[in-house]
């Protein structure tokens, strides 16, 4: 307690407040830049390999952008093709929804004594209240859509120039370090690139696994449009913890309104089994403990990210917190903060053994 300094504590609190303010008010600039930086770390190995094959920096950067656009275009094409099938079944879905609504009204009347007319009147009142803010919400949504499109263009521009000038940026950070510490600075930069790149690639592998597992499971359960429901159920898992619950909602609802009530339990079982395998097998193998973040700070990062940056913040704050942990672990004065952020749960022994088997040169 003798080292306690009130002025220093006030300085730390002021720095925290200023950092939050910069992150919040600077989000139109920082969100595309942060997303482009994480994508650049993911695509750096591909760009480096293309350059070793004889392509220049401009050509390799443009080819990386093309790969990214083809991936996004393929995903949108799959969703569009499957959405057309769903639109053909809308009359059946509406009829089934009406039947379920009538059953729900009868159950409420039986349990609480509220007549269906009173239920409808109550719903109409609530809809009227919601309708007062509908125009404002629609306007805000259109602004967000236009901002999303312009932000996507910015992400592509940032991504190209980050890939193109990555050697210069690396040299810049090395020159910031004292002469005798440039080796450690290089190690820190390499670790940051590996962690951020492996995080995104791990998330994509997890989504692919969940999509395939869901598609097969939903098809066996007899759920219609299994492929698009599988992808819609898997995509929200980009967001840690919360995404799994959000992604499970739509397939369960579609199984209820487009099929029979007997399909809900098998659909829920498929989702539960996929999440158990993904959390305990797939993610430890593809991401392992590279992020090395405490679960409580992962949840805090998701919550704070949503408050400051919205949905992009829920996705980006986990790798950004991992980068903060890495920086703290390489700065002696910040070692206590790295200790606070790092994961206290050891990696399972079987995961370590399986990783050694997979990483053997002969494999």
Q: Report pLDDT digits (tens) over 102-137.
A: 666 666 666 666 666 665 666 655 555 544 544 554
pLDDT bracket for residue 145 (50, 70, 90): very low
Query: Is 13 among the domain residues?
Result: no
> What pLDDT shows up at residue 57?
87
> What pLDDT shows up at residue 363?
47
> In 299-320, which positions are buried (b, 16+ CB within 10 angstroms) versus exposed (e)?
eebbebbbebbeebbbbbbbbb
Q: Write out pLDDT tens, residues 271-291.
A: 899 888 887 777 766 665 557
Q: What percent of the chain has pLDDT over 70?
A: 70
Number of domains in the chain: 1
Quote the tokens at residue 235. 């995509």
- The span from the CA of 297 to the CA of 294, in Å, is 5
pLDDT bracket for residue 17 (50, 70, 90): confident
- The span from the CA of 241 to the CA of 302, in Å, is 9
Judge contact between 258 and 92, C-beta under 8 A. Answer: yes
- Of the ranges 5-19, 242-256, 312-326, the best mean pLDDT one: 312-326
pLDDT bracket for residue 162 (50, 70, 90): very high
Query: Is 320 among the domain residues?
Result: yes
Residue 359 has pLDDT above 70, yes or no: no
Query: Is 92 among the domain residues?
Result: no
Query: Is 116 among the domain residues?
Result: no
How many alpha carbons fall within 13 Å on the CB side of residue 314? 13
3-state DSSP of the chain = CCCCCHHHHHHHHHHHHHHHHHHHHCHHHHHHHHHHHHHHHHHHHHHHHHHHCCCCHHHHHHHHHHHHHHHHHHHHHHHHHHHHHHHHCHHHHHHHHHHHHHHHHHHHHHHHCCCHHHHHHHHHHHHHHHHHCHHHHHHHHHHHHHHHHHHHHHHHHHHHHHHHCHHHHHHHHHHHCCHHHHHHHHHHHHHHHHHHHHHHHHHHHHHHHHHHHHHHHHHHHCCCCHHHHHHHHHHHHHCCCHHHHHHHHHHHHHHHHHCCHHHHHHHHHHHHHHHHHHHHHHHHHHCCCCCCCCHHHHHHHHHHHHHHHCHHHHHHHHHHHHHHHHHHHHCHHHHHHHHHHCCCCCCCHHHHHHHHHHCCCCC
Quote the tokens at residue 166. 């990555």
Q: What percent of the chain has pLDDT over 90?
A: 8
Residue 42: alpha-carbon gap to chain centroid = 14
> What pLDDT shows up at residue 101?
64
Average pLDDT over every residue of 285-307: 77
Query: Is 235 among the domain residues?
Result: yes
Residues 6+ apart with CB under 8 A from 127: none
pLDDT bracket for residue 66 (50, 70, 90): very high
Q: How many CB atoms lie within 10 A of CB 106?
A: 11
- The span from the CA of 297 to the CA of 317, in Å, is 10
Query: Is 134 among the domain residues?
Result: no
Q: How many CB atoms lie within 10 A of CB 114?
A: 13
Query: Is 108 among the domain residues?
Result: no
Domain hosting 256: range is 184-363
Question: Is 305 or 126 the better-scoring residue by pLDDT?
Answer: 305
Judge contact between 167 and 51, C-beta under 8 A. Answer: no
> What pLDDT shows up at residue 3?
55
Residue 160 has pLDDT above 90, yes or no: yes
Q: Write out pLDDT tens, residues 222-238.
A: 877 788 888 888 888 88
Judge contact between 287 and 230, C-beta under 8 A. Answer: no
Quote the tokens at residue 131. 């309708």
Q: What is the mean pLDDT of the chain?
A: 77
> What pLDDT shows up at residue 138?
46
Q: Is the pTM of this model over 0.85?
A: no
> What pLDDT shows up at residue 159?
92
Residues 6+ apart with CB under 8 A from 295: 343, 345
Residue 68 has pLDDT above 60, yes or no: yes
- Give the CA distances from residue 5 to residues 11, 260, 276, 332, 336, in Å, rounded to whole numbers and listed in that order: 10, 66, 47, 20, 17
> What pLDDT shows up at residue 1?
45
Query: Is 201 among the domain residues?
Result: yes
Question: Is 9 or 149 the better-scoring residue by pLDDT?
Answer: 9
């Amino acid at each position: 307690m003798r080292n306690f300094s009130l002025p220093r504590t006030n300085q730390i609190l002021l720095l925290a407040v200023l950092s939050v303010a910069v992150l919040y008010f600077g989000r139109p600039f920082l969100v595309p830049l942060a997303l482009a930086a994480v994508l650049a770390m993911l695509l750096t190995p591909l760009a480096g390999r293309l350059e070793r094959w004889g392509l220049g920096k401009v050509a390799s950067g443009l080819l990386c952008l093309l790969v990214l656009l083809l991936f996004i275009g393929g995903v949108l094409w799959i969703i569009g093709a499957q959405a057309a099938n769903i639109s053909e079944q809308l009359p059946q879905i509406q009829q089934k929804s009406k039947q379920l609504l009538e059953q729900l009204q009868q159950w409420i009347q039986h349990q609480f004594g509220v007549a269906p007319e009173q239920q409808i009147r109550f719903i109409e009142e609530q809809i009227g209240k919601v309708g007062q803010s509908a125009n404002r919400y629609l306007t805000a949504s259109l602004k967000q859509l236009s901002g999303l499109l312009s932000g996507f263009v910015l992400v592509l521009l940032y991504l190209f120039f980050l890939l193109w000038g990555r050697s210069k940026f690396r040299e810049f950070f090395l020159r910031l370090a004292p002469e005798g510490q440039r080796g450690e600075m290089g190690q820190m930069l390499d670790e940051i690139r590996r962690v951020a790149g492996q995080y995104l690639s791990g998330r994509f592998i997890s989504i692919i696994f969940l999509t395939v597992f869901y598609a097969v499971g939903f098809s066996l359960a007899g759920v219609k449009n299994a492929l698009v429901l599988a992808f819609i159920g898997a995509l929200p898992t980009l967001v840690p913890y919360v995404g799994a619950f959000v992604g499970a909602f739509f397939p369960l609802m579609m199984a209820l309104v487009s099929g029979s009530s007997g399909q809900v339990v098998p659909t829920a079982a498929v989702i539960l089994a996929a999440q158990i395998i993904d959390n305990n097998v797939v993610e430890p193998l593809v991401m392992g403990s590279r992020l090395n973040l405490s679960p409580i700070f992962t949840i805090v990062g998701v919550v704070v990210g949503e408050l400051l940056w919205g949905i992009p913040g829920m996705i980006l704050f986990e790798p950004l917190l991992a980068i903060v942990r890495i920086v703290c672990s390489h700065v002696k004065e910040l070692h206590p903060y790295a200790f606070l952020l790092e994961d206290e749960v050891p990696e399972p022994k079987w995961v370590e053994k399986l990783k050694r088997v997979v990483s053997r040169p002969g494999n």
